[in-house]
């Protein structure tokens, strides 16, 4: 073969994977999820094609943060107006919306363009251990 193989979007087979977040460190969980969403675990990985698989993360409320991150790490957002900076500490965020903490960690590791936003649509995060995707027969991804 003299040319580099580039996968076509219609040649790809998408699988469903489930990752259990119980007792996992947030950053390490996000790395594995982003890797699956990008498709880097496949031999036919092509950087400019959305070749990744669907990822379901369960038990997002049982994800842990190491060190003093619960008390010191902040989530920032801005309304766009002067003085519109909003901030929330991760200890409060993990109590109220742990899915958002996991989502921000995973999407921060994806490309920041339309391809990355398209990959993020294949990510599903649930607080508990039950999810409505039994029909897709997801495989368990061991970290």
Domain residue ranges in the chain? 15-140
**Percentage of residues in the chain having pLDDT higher than 90:** 93
Predicted TM-score (pTM) of this structure: 0.93
Q: CA separation (Å) from 99 to 19, 33, 48, 53? A: 13, 14, 28, 19
pLDDT at residue number 4: 87
Residue 71's contacts (CB-CB under 8 Å, 6 or more residues apart) are: 89, 90, 91
Q: In this predicted model, what pLDDT tens digit does every residue of 29-87 receive, in sequence order?
A: 999 999 999 999 999 999 999 999 999 999 999 999 999 999 999 999 999 999 999 99
CA distance 34 to 29: 9
User: Domain 15-140 is classified in which CATH homologous superfamily?
Assistant: Ribosomal protein L13 (3.90.1180.10)
For residue 1, pLDDT beyond 80: no
């Amino acid at each position: 073969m003299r040319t580099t193989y580039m996968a076509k979007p219609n040649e790809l087979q998408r699988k469903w994977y489930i990752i259990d977040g119980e007792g996992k460190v947030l950053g390490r969980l996000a790395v594995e999820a982003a890797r699956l969403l990008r498709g880097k675990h496949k031999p036919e990985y092509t950087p400019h094609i959305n070749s990744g698989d669907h990822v379901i993360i369960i038990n997002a409320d049982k994800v842990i943060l190491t060190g003093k991150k619960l008390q010191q790490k902040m989530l920032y957002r801005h309304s766009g107006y002067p003085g519109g900076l909003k901030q929330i500490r991760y200890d409060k965020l993990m109590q109220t919306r742990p899915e958002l903490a996991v989502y921000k960690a995973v999407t921060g590791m994806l490309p920041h363009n339309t391809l990355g936003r398209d990959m993020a649509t294949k990510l599903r995060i649930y607080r508990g251990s039950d999810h409505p995707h039994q029909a897709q027969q997801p495989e368990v991804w061991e970290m």
